[in-house]
Amino acid sequence: MLRKTAIVTGASSGIGRETALLFARNGYNVVLAEHTSSTKEVEEEIRLLGVEVLSAPFDLEDESKIKSFFDTAFKNFEYIDCIINCAGIALKQKLFIDVTSEEIDRILNVNLRGNMLACREGLKHLTSQKHGSIVNVSSILGETGGSFESVYSTSKGGIIALTKSLAVEFAPFGIRINAVAPGFVETNMTAGLDEEARNDCISQIPLSRLGQPCDIASLIYFLTQDGASYITGQCIGVNGGALRFD
């Protein structure tokens, strides 16, 4: 039986790391996108699970590296079942009028343009298979917006629009494309919260806790499976019942 392979970007930590490990635990080979943070530790954990793992250079701000990454992945594995786009960045919260043009360019280039290019390059290969799925990671702020997070919210809202558009465009090729929108999750992006800010966030969450990377990874995994075969073009929130964070 042909072993399926999952491509995961942003796999060195947080949601991407947990997602890569979950696929490996379920018998998938995994291709990891390696940028500034090493994926060596994740690779070692995955190998212990008895599946193949490959790390390749990747940079959402470098179109040539994005293309090379996907070419390498599809060259090395016979069958790629899914692509999980977790990679992204955030800046410190700022009043919008204080955000520099350079900061705007960086967020949009990485979170939106970079992930658009990743989808494009991945789809070039998936269309020849006539099968596969993509899951993009957006954010609750992409749905609701957030004070002092205007640029980040815009980039993540764009991911939702991209997902919905591509889902319609590539459904005839047998490809499903969905997004997940995490709320506040225990990752490097939230590690800097002081106790007051953390408690304020939790107070707005009906389930009274921050999310864990595994909460998001579980939904991502489901969306790639046969049980989700009639789900495409959706952005599904994973936020503990919260509607917004301001």
Q: Biggest alpha carbon distance in the chain? A: 56
What is the percent of the chain where pLDDT is above 90?
A: 83
Q: What count of other Cβ atoms lies within 10 Å of the Cβ of residue 199?
A: 10
Spell out the residues 6+ positions from residue 187 whose beta carbon is closer than 8 angstroms to its own: 13, 14, 15, 213
Residue 203, pLDDT score = 87
Domain locations in the chain? 5-238
- What rounded mean pLDDT belongs to the chain? 94
CATH classification code of 5-238? 3.40.50.720
Residues designated as active site: 152
3-state secondary structure 207-230: CCCCECHHHHHHHHHHHCCHHHCC
Find all residues with CB under 8 Å of 63, minimum gap 6, and list them. Answer: 117
**Burial group, residue 75, by CB count within 10 angstroms (0-12, 13-18, 19+):** exposed
Mean pLDDT of 225-235: 98
Tens digit of each residue's pLDDT (9 = 90 or more) over 74-94: 999 989 999 999 999 998 899
